[in-house]
Structure 1
Amino acid sequence: MTGELALIADIGGTNARFALCDPTATVPELVEPMALRNAEFASLQHAAEHYLAAVGVRPQRAAIALASPVDGDEIRLTNRAWSFNRHELRASLGLEELRLVNDFGAIAHAVPVLAPGERVVLHGQAHELTRGPISVIGPGTGFGVGLLVGSAERGWQVVETEGGHVGFAPLGDEERVLADRVAVRHGRASWERLLSGSGLSIIDAVLRGHDGGPDGQLRDPAEVVAAALDGHDVVSRRALARFCAILGSVAGDVALVHGARTVMIAGGIVPRFLPFLRASAFRERFLDKGRFAAYLEPVSIQVATHPHPGLLGAAVALRA
């Protein structure tokens, strides 16, 4: 590795991931990756200072991916009570350059440099990722949506979006009940409110007969997934199956909006249950678009299995 190391970070609603990289590398290598729990720090600045003290490096350049819009000087995370001023953060960390990108914008930056072993074809054609449009979506603490256009030959361009906050369109009685319960809890039902860790917990609670209101009892989403995969908890399996079906509908909607050639699913949840997702109603719901089912048939649906696509994308964004 040559060149001066830069700081890269991927800040979600639950975890803050940091690493160092040589931004001049064709495919950046992640050096000293570390994940921190956001709940243990009062601010992004404190988390970053903790990481830099641990690795003993004071970089001059940084790129930080954030689960929030990144326009303007004042930044507020969507699913974590952290806010900061970009100029003050740059000064406090002693940086000469600080680049901020949306978290799924960062993942979109990473897509062209994913190795074949860092992505899995879920459905459709297994073509190489050489041209767009490529839709990038994924559930985690929230639900992210990004877009990659262009090609390897002409150059790539990332379009950052807040598509995860689009209104949820339920199909069938069960999903209408879910939409109503989510609206009671949050004021409206969006994709993110169902396609996220907390969304899976709400689906599970409603199917167990809880009201899903502010005082409703919710299980941890990891517990729901584990119980569903174990196979003995019927309600957990129904909850995860419903989650997969809704994800299929949303993925198909995004593909139609973007005119996508590829849909890349990322985030911290889906890689945990790929066989379950493949066997679920995901594909059926993805194609359930009436006259445009044939239009979506050739779309390649892939899942990013790289352990830190947000960090990788932040490094690529810094190089760009």
Structure 2
Amino acid sequence: MDTTDGLALIADIGGTNARFALCDPTAAVPALLESQSLRNAGFASLQHAAEHYLAAVGARPRRAAIALACPVGGDEIRLTNRAWSFNRHELRASLGLDELRLINDFGAIAQAVPALAADERVALYGRDHDITRGPVSVIGPGTGFGVGLLVGSAARGWDVVETEGGHVGFAPLGDEERALADWAVARHGRVSWERLLSGSGLSAIDAVLRARDGVQDAGLRDPADVVAAALDGHDVVARRALARFCAILGSVAGDVALVHGARTVVVAGGIVPRFLPFLRASGFRERFLAKGRFAAYLEPVSVQVVTHPNPGLLGAAVALRDGAVAA
């Protein structure tokens, strides 16, 4: 394909994976074309990953929207959980673009929420499962922990508030969570939500619990292995680790709902869809509501999980379509 095709590049760049696709930015319902996921570890920079993708699909787009797991307010961009940095103007020139729009990754996912089909999200709790008006809190664990806010309505239009809420300080409940907080503080100086509600956070929870049980050489296991062991049912510590992860996620989701005054909380990210039945049966709901006098306030809040495989790409396409982000 050539530049006359009118297709745009969209990307969702996290700490572990770089996801790319093409889209028609004029389409009412953006379709993701030629989507690919690349492991960041195989590339020296975002530019190199993007060039690899564009060469593979034979495309030379003139417009692009890229969602990034970091703040995107300045000209110099540095990913939070990957040693990639770039200048937005230099990247635009290097990729031969006339227009480059940058958006925070959870800002992109928030953009995607109103565009999700009914079968691309799963309702867990609450009363109203239609997303027709905000506030809508968008949270999720992956390589890091993202938080975004969607305000407005389907009738009046939506606005996205990008945040770095994943770096809010963690408030432990009980001895086990205090041990997790101590572990994180000893290694990082402080403990944020992201230190526990992420892939590496699940690995840390598992390691701390195994050490507390007297397991020798309680090193970090891959988070996918922890989830698999927990779901298999024979690894008691892995099940405890995943249950603790779900409980902390419930507490944080409830806190975010209180801060945002949310009607709906949408959980996204690459981790949670892997264990939805486990989450539903976990202490998530109890901890979500455990806000003292405000338990009744949170009772009707709808909690949903995104099952769309690439909501960040969809959100980048929506942002490009709507011109929602300054170039």
Instruction: Check whether TM > 0.5.
Output: yes
Alignment-mate amino acid for residue 51 of structure 1 = Y
Partners of 1:16 and 1:37 within 8 A in 2 = yes
Alignment-mate amino acid for residue 87 of structure 1 = H
Partners of 1:210 and 1:216 within 8 A in 2 = no
Rate the CA distance shift 1:224–1:62 in 2: closer, same or farther, 3 A.
Answer: same
Alignment-mate amino acid for residue 278 of structure 1 = R
Give the CA deviation at 1:127.
2.5
Alignment-mate amino acid for residue 194 of structure 2 = E
Alignment-derived partner of residue 155 in structure 1: 157
Give the CA deviation at 1:78.
0.0
Q: How does 1:119-158 map to 2 (within 5 A)?
A: 119-158=121-160
The answer to whether 1:11 aligns with 2:19 is no
SS of the equivalent of 1:208 reads helix
Alignment-derived partner of residue 292 in structure 1: 294
Alignment-derived partner of residue 112 in structure 2: 110
Partners of 2:13 and 2:19 within 8 A in 1 = yes
* Match among 272, 277, 280 for residue 278 of structure 1: 280
Rate the CA distance shift 1:191–1:131 in 2: closer, same or farther, 3 A.
Answer: same
CA distance in 1, matches of 2:103, 2:190: 27
Give the CA deviation at 1:25.
1.1
Give the CA deviation at 1:210.
6.6
Q: How does 1:84-99 map to 2 (within 5 A)?
A: 84-99=86-101
Q: TM-score, normalised by structure 1?
A: 0.97
* Match among 19, 26, 29 for residue 28 of structure 2: 26
Q: How does 1:193-272 map to 2 (within 5 A)?
A: 193-209=195-211, 217-272=219-274
CA distance in 2, matches of 1:128, 1:168: 31
Rate the CA distance shift 1:210–1:186 in 2: closer, same or farther, 3 A.
Answer: farther
Q: How does 1:160-199 map to 2 (within 5 A)?
A: 160-199=162-201
Alignment-mate amino acid for residue 239 of structure 1 = A
CA distance in 1, matches of 2:284, 2:253: 9
CA distance in 2, matches of 1:26, 1:275: 34
The answer to whether 1:82 aligns with 2:73 is no
SS of the equivalent of 1:9 reads strand
Give the CA deviation at 1:126.
4.2
CA distance in 1, matches of 2:82, 2:206: 23
Rate the CA distance shift 1:266–1:308 in 2: closer, same or farther, 3 A.
Answer: same
CA distance in 2, matches of 1:201, 1:301: 25
Give the CA deviation at 1:216.
6.6
Rate the CA distance shift 1:210–1:44 in 2: closer, same or farther, 3 A.
Answer: farther
Rate the CA distance shift 1:216–1:86 in 2: closer, same or farther, 3 A.
Answer: farther
Give the CA deviation at 1:24.
1.1
Q: TM-score, normalised by structure 2?
A: 0.95
Gaps of 5+ in 1: none
Gaps of 5+ in 2: 323-327
Deviations, residues 190-236 of structure 1 (Å, cap 9, x unaligned)? 0000000000000000000179xxx9710000000000000000000
Give the CA deviation at 1:3.
6.7
RMSD of equivalent CA atoms: 1.3
Partners of 1:210 and 1:217 within 8 A in 2 = no
Alignment-derived partner of residue 48 in structure 1: 50
